[in-house]
A and B are shown apart, each in its own frame.
Chain A
Amino acid sequence: MQTKIPSTSNVMTTLLRADFITQWRNRRSVIMVLLVPVIIVISWKSLVARLGGPFVLSNCITVGLTAIGLMGYTNSIARDRDKGIFQRLRVAPVPSWSIMMSRLVVQLVMILLVTLGVFFAGYYFDKISMPMQGYSLAFICALVGGAVYLSLGQVIVGLIQNPETVSSTTRLVYFAFIMVGMFGELGVLGKEIGEIVKWSPYGAVKRIISDSLQPGAWNIHSSIALLVTFGYTMIFSVLGINWFKWNSR
């Protein structure tokens, strides 16, 4: 019997393969995550002329990012922790970070899919067309913005152990973000709420995506929103990683 240590690249490949298969087998929930922002794009067709293409696209992408981070990622982590899947993987000679990294890569691919889906639906149904540079920058900003919600999800699974409580909490937070975020942005909830929403995780992420779609319009407020987005990610990541326990028992 000889002790063999697997290479980190082989471990990552194996974990990624398993995590992508798992995601594929859960395609019903994947479709739901993709469908909601796409449906909003289509249903907001009449608002494009009034609000502008970047506003509509960025709002829908932000809704998708919120769903990925708060619903998909968070609930899968809570479930797998409760079932002891992480514990089983951690007793193997694999670095703990690789287990989480593999999960995050799958979510990053989901973010790209949602962004692509919204762009495609916006172009096909609403006739929204942006410069190629804008699309490319928006992809990057979507990844940066997605990190806010993934790290916020990490905070939730760090604070709450029970997967059912995690599920109901994420639904509540998701609903609150979407409702307050969308209506606040539209000014329906008053000026003060509108101002708070502007610098909330919803507003900051929405702003960087919206402004990146039209690179010429990027200004000091866009840069501040980008810094705020990084700040949220940093704070949520530090808290989420510190509070996270691999075992729910």
Chain B
Amino acid sequence: MNDNGQATILQVEQLNVYYDTFHAVRNVSFEVRAGEIFGLLGPNGAGKTSTLAAIEGLLQPRSGKIHVAGYDIAEKKKYARASMGVQLQATSFQPELLVPEIIQLYAGVYGVEMNKQKVDSILKEIELSSASSKRFGQLSGGQQQRVSLVIAMIHNPELVLLDEPTTGLDPQSRRQLWERMENMRSKKHGILVTTHSMEEAESVCDRIAIIDHGQIIAIDEPQRLIDLHRDDPKVISVSRRGRITLEDVFIGLTGKQIRS
């Protein structure tokens, strides 16, 4: 429980990740609470993916602690992983499998009972009943994201990790995804989302952390971040529309230089 009486679903403390001698993540600490959408924002190469990989247990940090639903990822990896649902950036499903087969595969690896009726009802719920005979690669970007999201949620995890979920989506699909994320929040799931979209961060995130060069340089509610940096000369200098937006704050804090 944190000071506000909300349960902490993800706790990251003093995380340090190295690639040989390169210090990719530097003393990163934050928490994601139940019923919260937490955004991790940063330019390319800022350390978002490395942080996420460490949370997923795919990468061994040099130091620091990560707890998912109370389980230490280093000591209780299986339990920590069973408590999180993950949507990766890449379309990471076997292209030969039909959509219901993919759902059944992931239900099986998360230990969820899944019969044909249940699969049909899931497909109906995400408005993909017509896709039951289609392969994943035959779906549109928005449809693929819906399937990915349903798989991330298939075992009703406490923590959901979404890695740039709206990249490449049209506005309708993006809005629909935001509604699904808000729906998950209302069911008390903790959601960690990485994104490049300031609109997304402003619209759906309860709190955001801006990460750059492996360090968290700001962490707060989107509107509070805007208010806090409204008078910062670096932020004012990059403002384009006469009013300060989250994007202005982001560019002001991380710089205008394009990252690879």
Contacts and interface: CB of A to CB of B under 8 A. Distances in A.
B86 interface: yes
A10 interface: yes
A225 B108 CA distance: 42
* Interface SS of B by simple majority: loop
A85 B106 CA distance: 12
A144 interface: no
Contact of B110 (A6, A18, A26): A6
A6 B111 contact: yes
Given A1-B158, A21-B96, A92-B81, A83 B91 contact: yes
A222 interface: no
A84 B111 contact: no
Contacts of B96: 21-22, 25-26
B83 A3 contact: yes
Contact of B92 (A10, A17, A26, A88): A88
Given A92-B106, A92-B110, A93-B110, A5 B92 contact: no
Given A26-B96, A83-B91, A88-B92, A4 B110 contact: yes
Contact of A18 (B69, B89, B91, B101): B101
Interface in B77-101: 77-79, 81-84, 86, 88-97, 101
B164 to A, nearest CB: 13
A100 B158 CA distance: 28
25 contacts: A1-B83, A1-B156, A4-B110, A5-B78, A5-B82, A6-B82, A6-B109, A6-B111, A10-B108, A11-B111, A14-B104, A15-B109, A17-B104, A21-B96, A22-B97, A26-B96, A83-B92, A84-B90, A84-B92, A88-B92, A90-B58, A91-B57, A91-B88, A92-B106, A246-B58
